[in-house]
Structure 1
């Protein structure tokens, strides 16, 4: 090796700690795994050696040595929602990483808009699962199903859409009221000096993320932009054909329509209706999630802004939280916080 070349950093082992502390390997193993039967003075020597050497346990190796594995179910929506398709792909990629950590993922697709179907899927999950990540519907039966899983010792993480009054372990997703307020601020600034109506299209108001987004949107629009009047929320069930018809009807009914905020999906339908009407450049349209379709609409000027959440970050975060819980390890709140991204045509990645 040439002079000045970087030296490899070697990870300290239990054997290194045992030598430094002057004790047996078995004693070190007892101390680092918090088992009883070791004198306080010896514990102090081992802990001092651990600190000096910067020893960190290889958790995956420990699970392998114990023959310990975990299996998780990710319950995701059926349908052609582009964001959910991206999320499924990211969960599949996360499964490859998790396998190296002795954790395994099965993906189950169900109709999350139907509380009975979703609750039944949760109620009938195999007892082989130690953890579940689910796009939650905030409905009494779904909350009861989550509570039942938690009562059986199954960790439940809500993903993208929350059911906060349930016994779920953790929510992985953006701050949806803040996302709605952000959309309203953008809408108000884009339409500065204009008067008229603004349409709000949700997928379903049974999905808490959609409800919270439209709540945040109305909160800012009504208080800070009084010249803009939000129309009653309509539900497109994240279906492009349905949202196309709803948007066409809005455009025909409201000559003073100045903006559209879509707090769900079905964006291909909105784009088709706007472009067919010839009003795509005069109506400000703000939506959620960067997909191959919303990117295209943004680039050609039909869409004005995208409020985004990173599906890769969410898939990895859900897996990390479930794995940490089952392994008895801490999580880093900062690492698991999902940020809100704002994309305009000028800053697309």
Structure 2
């Protein structure tokens, strides 16, 4: 019996040959385990995006490349898949390359593979380092537009950035902590997933600048390179609390917030104010429990729709905008104004 999704479509989605897909689907063996996983992932993606497959209209194949904690990548994937049908009559399919951590060389190899296999555009969340910017430039030179998500690559030839004004987000966090904390000398723990992400660096710069101007009584203790993963982030926070007795608040730029809360509890320390980013399932639970006082949120569905529209414009499928698109709105979410969709 014929497979409900054409094997040719699965092969294109997976970036492998038709013969390889046939062997995997019919379980004939002789295919490397990593390739089998790519084929099965492609099949899963096509089934999840089945509302788009087979519809009339010009078809586009996008690649979504993200280096981010799984909870955030899952939120982005759900938002993207929900928005794809709204882009009709264009028909967009997405190949997903989602990694919690990925060495720069491996990321560059991934982008090179996309360039060689072909794509109508790349949505990219990646560290702002020279080899990645160079790989983006090669994609663009090959006619594959790139839109950066959440964090930018300003030195690259990417066609646009979609996300919040990260510096303004940092300033907002500083303003809130300045209002909530008593005006006495104390320390604020600032956690980044990695200092190689431009967006996180911008948040930290905005936070520092606002503290210098408004809250000189607050001193920053920074930890980085936990990659937003609970285990690694928890170790770093435990170490920081052991070294600094005056930490009384947290601005979490990079995530791993459950581990941060647990580190304070294990050390018998009180966190008087905790501000986080992104309304994922972890942060929603922490917000309702009172462990986090506010989440700086932006609507991922709107971001995904804008990002896809930017790629369609770059492909000439939509008219160009008369002015640059506005940055995503920064919403301060408390337990009393959680968006309905959350």
Instruction: Please report the TM-score for the alignment, with normalisation by the length of structure 1.
Output: 0.75
Following superposition of structure 1 onto structure 2, how do residues 74-93 of structure 1 map, counting pairs within 5 Å? 74-77=64-67, 79-80=69-70, 82-93=71-82
Partners of 1:332 and 1:188 lie apart in 2 by 39
Q: CA deviation at 1:152?
A: 1.0
Contact 2:171 2:210 in 1 (8 A): yes
Matched, 1:208 2:198: yes
Q: Which runs of 5+ in 1 are unaligned?
A: 1-62
Matched, 1:191 2:186: no
| Residues 65-93 of structure 1: per-residue CA shift (max 9 Å, x gap) | xx74322111123653x222111111222
Q: What count of residue pairs does the alignment treat as equivalent?
A: 283
SS of equivalent residue, structure 1 residue 346? coil
Contact 1:201 1:234 in 2 (8 A): yes
| C-alpha distance 329-155 of structure 1, shift in aligned 2 (>3 A) | same
**Which position in structure 1 is the counterpart of 2:219?**
229
| C-alpha distance 342-78 of structure 1, shift in aligned 2 (>3 A) | closer
| C-alpha distance 194-301 of structure 1, shift in aligned 2 (>3 A) | farther
Match of 2:307 among 305, 318, 342: 318
Q: CA deviation at 1:221?
A: 1.2
Q: Which runs of 5+ in 2 are unaligned?
A: 1-54
Partners of 2:98 and 2:225 lie apart in 1 by 22
Partners of 2:322 and 2:82 lie apart in 1 by 21
Match of 2:291 among 289, 302, 309: 302
Q: CA deviation at 1:112?
A: 5.7
**Which position in structure 2 is the counterpart of 1:156?**
146
Partners of 1:113 and 1:221 lie apart in 2 by 33
| Residues 182-211 of structure 1: per-residue CA shift (max 9 Å, x gap) | 111111111132321111110001011111
SS of equivalent residue, structure 1 residue 235? coil
Which region of structure 1 is more displaced relative to structure 2, 298-307 or 104-113?
104-113
| C-alpha distance 123-205 of structure 1, shift in aligned 2 (>3 A) | same
Which region of structure 1 is more displaced relative to structure 2, 99-108 or 256-265?
99-108
Q: CA deviation at 1:95?
A: 3.1
Q: CA deviation at 1:302?
A: 1.2
**Which position in structure 1 is the counterpart of 2:328?**
338
Match of 1:285 among 274, 287, 300: 274
Match of 2:246 among 256, 259, 269: 256
Matched, 1:117 2:96: no
Q: Whose radius of gyration is greater, 1 or 2? A: 1
RMSD: 2.2
Partners of 1:113 and 1:264 lie apart in 2 by 16
